[in-house]
């Protein structure tokens, strides 16, 4: 048989939601975005020895198996961002249709909100001898970001038990219909702690935003008769954000100046970013946080003057809020 070469467009990522964490399932979903290649993340050690030879006689052994996947940045869609949130925040229960609302948040009690784990199928449809699967896969970190005149973007870092061999891709899956989230449709609200989030819209200033989440989910590396994890634990998540605002002034009032004063005073803020593409496609991000840094004036595009505020989410007991994402789409099941 003639040699065939694996062209990049034939690379593919498919995923399935595991009924039992760590038990592989067939894929049901084609991931729409640039291909990210899985990386073997085992602990390989070299034993030092002196056996009467000057040449090295390397003896290696593995103490732990693992794998990771950097899922490249792609356009955020209301359908597929749910998989990142399910594997990195919680397995959410949808509300009533036809607009299915799922609310993702970290537990504010001693009982964590469990995630949904995935089986990831990865490889090339031509060079099928090198197909791999990641079982018990979850999200360690993800980023949602957007800027003016573009769509919102999403990216994620996944962790899996090991680089296991996949015999064949799950067949007969089609790429799902998706809807991109346009940044220009996003509304920005900033309110005082103790107030009502989503009350005060900041008009004509939002030029960019980003949310970076370190999920706090970690595998448990105990000795249970195998070299890969069979359980995860929930440690403290870390959520940071940026807001890029256009410098302006209206009858002596400037949003940049007002928020700068809040930074200088160390005052908390209630921030909502709400994007409504349709009644059945809504992304709403709510957070309680404080600014940690303010950049200088930046030039964006054709002479826009902008200022970027960096912040960190902190739990507000008064508002019973840390970080929440409310996602509406038309999917009864994911």
Mean pLDDT of 110-114: 95
pLDDT at 1 over 80: no
Q: Residue 56 has what pLDDT?
A: 87
Give domain status of residue 54, yes or no: no
pLDDT score at 311? 98
Percent of the chain whose pLDDT exceeds 70: 100
Beta bridge partners of 74: 154
Q: What confidence tens digit (pLDDT) does each residue in 279-299 have?
A: 999 999 999 999 999 999 999
Residue 219 lies in a domain: yes
Decide if 2 is inside a domain: no
**The total number of structural domains that make up the chain:** 1
pLDDT-derived band at 302 (thresholds 50, 70, 90) equals confident
Looking at the chain, how many residues does it have? 334
| Contact assessment for residue 262 and residue 269, using Cβ atoms and an 8 Å cutoff | yes
| Mean pLDDT (whole number) for 164-188 | 97
The pLDDT tens digits for 181-212 are 999 999 999 999 999 999 999 999 999 999 99
| Average of per-residue pLDDT values in the chain | 96
Question: Does residue 51 form part of some domain?
Answer: no
> What average pLDDT does this structure show over 29-34?
98
208, 212, 229: which is closest to 300 by C-alpha? 208
Task: Please tell me the predicted confidence (pLDDT) of residue 2.
Answer: 86
DSSP code for 47: E
Q: How far apart are CA 81 and CA 329, in angstroms?
A: 10
Q: Please indicate, yes or no, if residue 34 is contained in any of the structural domains.
A: yes
| Residue at 285 is within a domain | yes
Q: What is the mean pLDDT of residues 118-136?
A: 97
Centre a 10 Å sphere on the Cβ of residue 189 and count the other Cβ atoms it contains.
17
User: Coil, helix or strand for 123?
Assistant: strand
Flag whether pLDDT at 58 surpasses 90.
Answer: no
322, part of any domain: yes
**Domain range for residue 40?**
10-45+61-329
CA distance 92 to 325: 11
Q: Examine residue 113 and state whether it is found in any structural domain, yes or no.
A: yes
Q: What's the pTM value of the predicted model, to 2 decimals?
A: 0.96
Predicted confidence (pLDDT) per residue in 60-93, tens digit:
999 999 999 999 999 999 999 999 999 999 999 9
Q: How far is CA 251 from CA 167, 187, 248, 258, 268, in A?
A: 67, 22, 10, 13, 25
């Amino acid at each position: 048989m003639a040699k065939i070469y694996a062209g990049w467009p034939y690379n593919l990522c498919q995923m399935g939601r595991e009924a039992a964490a760590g038990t592989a399932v067939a894929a049901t979903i084609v991931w729409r975005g640039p291909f990210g290649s899985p990386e073997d993340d085992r602990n390989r050690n070299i034993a030092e020895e002196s056996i009467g030879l000057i040449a090295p006689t390397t003896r290696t052994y593995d103490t732990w198996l693992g794998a990771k996947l950097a899922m490249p940045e792609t356009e955020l869609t209301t359908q597929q961002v749910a998989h990142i949130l399910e594997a990195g925040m919680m397995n959410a229960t949808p509300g009533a249709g036809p607009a299915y609302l799922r609310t993702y948040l970290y537990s504010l009690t001693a009982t964590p909100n469990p995630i949904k784990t995935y089986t990831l199928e990865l490889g090339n449809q031509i060079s099928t001898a090198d197909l791999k699967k990641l079982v018990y896969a979850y999200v360690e970190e993800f980023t949602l970001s957007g800027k003016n005149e573009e769509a919102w973007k999403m990216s994620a870092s996944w962790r899996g038990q090991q680089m296991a061999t996949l015999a064949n891709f799950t067949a007969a899956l089609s790429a799902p219909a998706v809807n991109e989230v346009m940044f220009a449709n996003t509304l920005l609200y900033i309110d005082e702690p103790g107030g009502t989030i989503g009350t005060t819209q900041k008009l004509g200033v939002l030029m960019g935003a980003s949310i970076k989440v370190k999920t706090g989910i970690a595998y448990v590396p105990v000795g249970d008769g195998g070299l890969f994890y069979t359980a995860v634990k929930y440690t403290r998540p870390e959520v940071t954000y940026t807001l890029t605002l256009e410098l302006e002034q209206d009858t002596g009032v400037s949003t940049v100046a007002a928020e700068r004063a809040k930074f200088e005073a160390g005052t908390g803020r209630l921030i909502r970013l709400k994007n409504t593409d349709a009644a059945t496609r809504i992304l709403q991000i709510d957070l309680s946080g404080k600014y940690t840094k303010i950049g200088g004036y930046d030039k964006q595009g054709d002479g826009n003057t902008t200022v970027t505020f960096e912040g960190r989410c902190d739990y507000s007991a008064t508002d019973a809020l840390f970080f929440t994402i409310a996602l509406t789409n038309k999917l009864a099941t994911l």
